[in-house]
Amino acid sequence: MQYLSTRGGIAHIPFTRAVLMGLAEDGGLLLPRTIPRIGSETMQAWQELSYSELAFEVMSRFIDDIPNSDLRALIDKSYSTFNHKDVTPLVHCGDLHILELFHGPTLAFKDVALQFLGNLFEYLLDRDDSVLNILGATSGDTGSAAIYGVRGKERVNIFILHPHQRVSPVQEKQMTTVLDDNVYNIAIRGSFDDGQAIVKKIFGDIDFKNTYNLGAINSINWARVLAQVVYYVWSCLHISSHEKDSTLDFSVPTGNFGDIFAGYIAKRMLPEGTIRRLILATNSNDILSRFVKDGDYSLSSVVQTSSPSMDIQSASNFERYLYYLLDSEPERTRDLMLEFSREGKIDLSSYDDQVRRDFASLAVSEEDVTATIKQFYKDHNYILDPHTAIGVKAAQHHRKKGVPMVCLATAHPAKFGDAVLNAIGREPEIPESIAGLMEKEARCELMDADSNAIQDYLKAHARHA
């Protein structure tokens, strides 16, 4: 499989180059040249596969420059760190199916992609005899999942900036208690935006970037999207055997549009009608739900909510869907994205019919998040985290009789204990992986939000080839 850029400015490249490139060199995002199609007989044949076996079948259709036996080993290793035999188990609550994506090491769905990406980086660096210095800023979840993805790896150092005392105590400890030599946590005196601005500035210094083999782990990496396609296919296989009916809907708590875009790829891969619609659920940062509702893709300012991993306005993966919406025409994609970065808005209302064949949406208020956690606990004795509750609320709003609905559970409730306590009057049970976390030894550098100082710190601690 070859990969192209949504902006058309690069030659086609194979999978492993796409992974190492991250963002396309012309500023676009990388996509496979075609989306492979899976027939009903193949779906039948996949019915009994384990999660890892299925992951191999799905991913290998997009990868032809890693030998099959190596790819299998990478996948097996990535999902052996999950603490459930099904990796992403389905739990049935009334007429909703909850797809639990939080059984990885940091208890959020990002582990599904970042465990794989970490092992893939290690493999490619070994192959090429090179090294990587990963630099990223986090508001909480991504940082810990990325750190767990590469901790202890030979050829990688990771530097994660987080805003000092502005991430939750559990999130902070999940990052800072990882004591491997290759992990560098930096708390900056400033906000998440300050951290992101510093990262952008350092990546903008091309000489520095090349000299120090700087790499990113954000959700625009195609390998992350690809790893997430697997659990959509997994759900289709398991629900259709469970309910006979062969069409289903998914509800997806959405921030950067990565997870739901993986669902869109799955929808196009699988036999027509297997996935009917994707429900795009947002918190009050609702740019994407406004886009689905009436084609209004316009920025407003970010507000803080109880679902911080979805407090996002410009969704970094949106351009991938836009490319398909514009009939795969790179010039139009580039022009519209440039218009968006100039004006902060684009009008996509003329595509409403197509968009509504793919998606429905709902923006969920803070009151409704609390009410949903409370009601769901009462009805099903099941505790939702605030992100998952947003998806569940949107699912309840859009469900159609006779069409099974899968709700993606993106975080374990124990990561957001305060929101849960506030809704149901008790804390969720603490899973073993974070029990005792607060007492563990931690290591972290506290620094000013000064890009020169941080660049010097990188120079002093970077891994060299």
Ligand X SMILES: *Cc1c(COP(=O)(O)O)cnc(C)c1O
**Active-site residues: which are they?**
110
Tell me whether residue 452 is exposed, middle or buried, using C-beta atoms within 10 angstroms of its C-beta: 0 to 12, 13 to 18, 19 or more.
exposed
Shortest spacing between CB 129 and ligand X, in angstroms: 33
Binding interface with ligand X (CB under 6 A): 108-110, 141, 219, 253-259, 309-310, 387, 410-411
Shortest spacing between CB 389 and ligand X, in angstroms: 11
CA dist 103 → 234, 239, 406 (Å) = 15, 20, 17
> Given its phi and psi angles, is residue 124 left (phi above 0), alpha (psi -120 to 50 degrees) or beta?
alpha
Query: Is there a contact between 186 and 194 (Cβ–Cβ < 8 Å)?
Result: no
Q: Which is nearer to ligand X, 10 or 136 (CB)?
A: 136
Q: Name which of 158, 91, 82, 138 is nearest 113 in CA terms.
A: 82
The one-character DSSP state at 9 is -
Q: Which is nearer to ligand X, 104 or 212 (CB)?
A: 104
Q: Which is nearer to ligand X, 10 or 96 (CB)?
A: 96
Shortest spacing between CB 419 and ligand X, in angstroms: 12
Query: Is there a contact between 458 and 133 (Cβ–Cβ < 8 Å)?
Result: yes
Shortest spacing between CB 335 and ligand X, in angstroms: 25
Shortest spacing between CB 250 and ligand X, in angstroms: 13
Q: How far apart are CA 425 and CA 135, in angstroms?
A: 39
Q: How far apart are CA 197 and CA 212, in angstroms?
A: 19
Q: Which is nearer to ligand X, 38 or 408 (CB)?
A: 408
Q: Which is nearer to ligand X, 161 or 278 (CB)?
A: 278
Q: On the CB side of 92, how many CA atoms lie within 13 Å of its CA?
A: 8
Shortest spacing between CB 382 and ligand X, in angstroms: 17
Q: How far apart are CA 427 and CA 2, in angstroms?
A: 48
Q: Which is nearer to ligand X, 396 or 410 (CB)?
A: 410
> Given its phi and psi angles, is residue 402 left (phi above 0), alpha (psi -120 to 50 degrees) or beta?
left
